[in-house]
Chains A and B, each alone.
Chain A
Amino acid sequence: GNSVTQMEGPVTLSEEAFLTINCTYTATGYPSLFWYVQYPGEGLQLLLKATKADDKGSNKGFEATYRKETTSFHLEKGSVQVSDSAVYFCALSGGSNYQLIWGAGTKLIIKP
């Protein structure tokens, strides 16, 4: 069945460091891929998405490219800020039922 695997956290970085959070997936067909973010005390919110191979989603300085050949959708940011501290979830959709399938989440801690 469909599944998503994310790198385990927490990931701790200094401000202005480069960020990569790995996400790989297993899916039949052509799923859409998503990154959601959960800031402390807030609900999940969509960060970016890509709906087909080689698409690049981007938002708030974050980017992720849908790589079908490596079944990956890694999240990157060139220079992180303390305000980026949150839990990041990779997810995919597709198939005959209407649901998102989620990774376990990666907690990101940015130190000033």
Chain B
Amino acid sequence: DAGVTQSPTHLIKTRGQHVTLRCSPISGHKSVSWYQQVLGQGPQFIFQYYEKEERGRGNFPDRFSARQFPNYSSELNVNALLLGDSALYLCASSSAQGRAGELFFGEGSRLTVL
């Protein structure tokens, strides 16, 4: 069975641009979460979606937005990119609705902002 897939794996943008990252969860998983991992740090929670509704949001500015589609795939959008947005963006899926249980992670999308 396919695991969590993310695209693109690597991308380079310049300041002020917009980026869209995509995630397909494991088949049957209805919850998708997004995390930002800066080099040398642990992941920071950005969003969680369950059944196409936002269920949680971390301490990120409004430039960050996301959505979940009827097939449970998800997009993370970041507007007006800043140098500090350079990071590995991780998508995780789970079958749990409630408290965070076991998360299954993709390999991430590495964003470099120049």
A positions within 8 Å CB-CB of B: 4, 32, 41-46, 49, 89, 91, 93-94, 97-105
Contacts and interface: CB of A to CB of B under 8 A. Distances in A.
B106 A43 contact: yes
Given A43-B4, A97-B56, A4 B107 contact: no
Contacts of B4: 43
Q: What is the size category of the interface that chain B forms with chain A?
A: 20 to 34
B33 A98 contact: yes
Interface string B31-47: 10100000011111100
Contacts, number: 66
Interface of A is mostly: strand
Contact of A99 (B40, B50, B58, B90): B58
Contacts of B48: 97-99
Nearest to A96: B56
